[in-house]
């Protein structure tokens, strides 16, 4: 199926419910990883999510939304919310927190999909990044509170995202 940026936006923004709760999947390559399963509330799309945090460098993390198409092989990383993983002259956005978003052009060309980068993001810690991520991908409010409660338990914590519960 050829993808469009509109389809990608719809997949990222559609309301989602948690199907399989977040579970620790152990440590690999120096990072702890939590995985969970999601489904669009209309049942038409399946997703998985992950939260990966470096054991030695807590600011080095990645939180992702992965699309699991039902009619084709493989998966597509739609969105990654990252912490700063260190300055690199070839990849300057790694100096600070940033978001990677898939583009239709990259998916359709068979490239690593998440090539669009946003560096002006409203989080600095993994706790804030998780709250940003669960609102950005539109997990329904009841599941956000059940599976991803804010550390300080302030339900109204807002990252200036449109509230779509």
CA angle 85, 86, 90 (to 5 degrees): 105
Residue 90 has pLDDT above 70, yes or no: no
> In sequence order, which residues have a C-beta less than 8 Å from that of residue 85 and are 6 or more positions away?
60, 94
| Structure-token pair, residue 57 | 């460098």
Tell me the pairing of strands 61-67 and 98-101: unpaired
What does the pLDDT read at residue 84?
81
What does the pLDDT read at residue 59?
79
pLDDT tens digit sequence for 17-42: 999 999 998 888 788 999 999 999 99
Average pLDDT of span 115-122 = 90
Q: pTM score, two decimals?
A: 0.85
Q: What percentage of the chain exceeds 70 in pLDDT?
A: 85
Q: How far apart are CA 47 and CA 102, in angstroms?
A: 14
> Which has the higher per-residue pLDDT, 130 or 72?
130
């Amino acid at each position: 199926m050829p993808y469009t940026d509109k389809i990608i936006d719809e997949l990222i923004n559609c309301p989602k419910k948690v199907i399989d709760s977040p579970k620790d999947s152990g440590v690999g390559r120096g990072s702890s990883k939590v995985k969970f399963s999601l489904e669009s509330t209309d049942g038409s799309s399946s997703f998985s999510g992950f939260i990966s945090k470096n054991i030695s460098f807590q600011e080095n993390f990645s939180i992702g939304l992965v699309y699991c198409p039902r009619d084709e092989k493989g998966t597509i990383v739609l969105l990654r919310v990252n912490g700063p993983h260190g300055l690199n002259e070839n990849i300057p956005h790694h100096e600070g927190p940033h978001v990677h978003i898939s583009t239709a052009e990259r998916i359709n060309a068979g490239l690593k999909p998440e090539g669009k980068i946003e560096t002006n993001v409203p989080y600095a810690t993994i706790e804030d990044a998780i709250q940003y991520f669960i609102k950005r991908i539109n997990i329904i409010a009841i599941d956000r509170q059940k599976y991803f409660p804010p550390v300080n338990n302030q339900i109204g914590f807002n990252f200036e995202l449109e509230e779509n519960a």
